[in-house]
Structure 1
């Protein structure tokens, strides 16, 4: 190890508390508190959920745009997205247009909600000249199978009399056929990369309605009916000759079925979000020059190893034989489990010395403090 400690910080967000960039900045303060001469490279990470578009745009210097789109209840809202105009790439978070936080507390009825705004964001990116769309599927508040998205891109949903239907589950109860004649022709020339961390199919016990519906306000007794809606929607699209992949395609159930519309209908390609973004931001090159990597997330637990940011960072660091440590909001695994996972050390904000309320009141302070302690311990071991 060189005299000057070289550290890469690449945390995920602490959901409900801190954005990934805020966590990374607090970690950097903690590093410099212990080692003022340290060189810190900040590469905050995401897995395709909320904040992915802003993070990618900020990290890679892409232009940031705001578009007026139709929210899930029909109200207008402003949604951000990023674009690399030189390489004609755009990045979109579906949550910015149809996320849970975009739905008023008294309107969480998935039967009445749609994803039209996501389709409008795609149109805005196409208008800006994008030839490759990166679409993060995390954080959606809808379960419409992507009908709203498709409608915004020119698809018409018709009843038996040929009358157009509103593109949400309740509105499509009378669906007879789907007309793709008006589908935006530019989509045939665009590459779509779908970023998520789930492999659920569209329907069935592991599908969009059963697994994700209750999180978005779907009543347990309505799950079979919503599942049947998804089946009818897919059947009508297949009858129109536009079902490119089967509904049991892994990831089709992501984001309330947006994965189905993007992957099975519009020919997008699903990728695990954290892995794709690690390559996009050049994580390996940064780690290769480092003596230590620090990552983190809201909670380290049994789910961490399943496609999450921390697991991805650990895998890259281990492959390059660079030690990796973590700072988390809380830790629900023991030292042996952390060692097996590949972490050399980990600290939790809620480590017994403070209450959850204290941690939530001053999260950046405690992230910095736990990072300072990790750096001190790492330096002591190196000496």
Structure 2
């Protein structure tokens, strides 16, 4: 099973500029022609470009070096060298880009904030991460009234070269958050147009699955099931740490609890605590709480859960399609309300 790759280290080298040319006009009836050396071409850039169809950075676990084309050298007869071709590196939406100050560091030392310099964030479009060198000047550029036959040209400049760290932060309107094997993938498949891998064992979800919930013909929102969070996730235990960063980009947190567990209340407390330890700001987002697997417990157990949590709850069975219509309606209403706020003049 392929694991989700959300961090990659790559080395990029922009193209060097071509050298300027030293040349003189030589024609049958022009024995003493002047300088006609052309300029060198500019080196190609290295560009990161968002590919909306990409979901992970796994490709860059295998290919880690990228080099743009160098510019051609200038030629005689005032012919300039061609510019080098740019190298385009596709990345998923939500990729954050850092310059690595010391590329010799590895592991956790590599990701130390003191070793990283923020370059940019890509939600769409493209970003130049290494610029090609300028081309050198041909000797025709140096002709003057006091220097009729310059016998020199300048060399092209070197293209930029650096190591960069790519970090993917998933973008979704709603993030389903829960412990392993609570039914997140099943819920996603029932609420949206998605077919995630589903099995009855923990950590089936090794990469976030994205689904689309349509609202009418021309609107809708994205929903993602995050891999299960366990106690100590913010310290790197389980799969949680690698995916907590994705929750930062969601607008709404959909906490999914297991009605069959000994204490759904403790589940919710654990989930909130792990998120708080990672980034307390995330808990300021809108939250919806759903209790799954109600088909497997008694009515008395559901009453106990309701009294213990003392928060607005949606009781559902994703497997049996119980309570899903009400939950989906609440998500749609919340999404529409948030979009309205974002577009209102007071939010600008």
TM range (shorter): under 0.3
Q: Give the TM-score of the pair, scaled to structure 1.
A: 0.24
Q: Give the TM-score of the pair, scaled to structure 2.
A: 0.25
**Whose Rg is larger?**
2
Pick the structure with more strand per residue: 2
The answer to which structure, 1 or 2, has the higher relative contact order (CA under 8 A, 6+ apart) is 1
Pick the structure with more helix per residue: 1
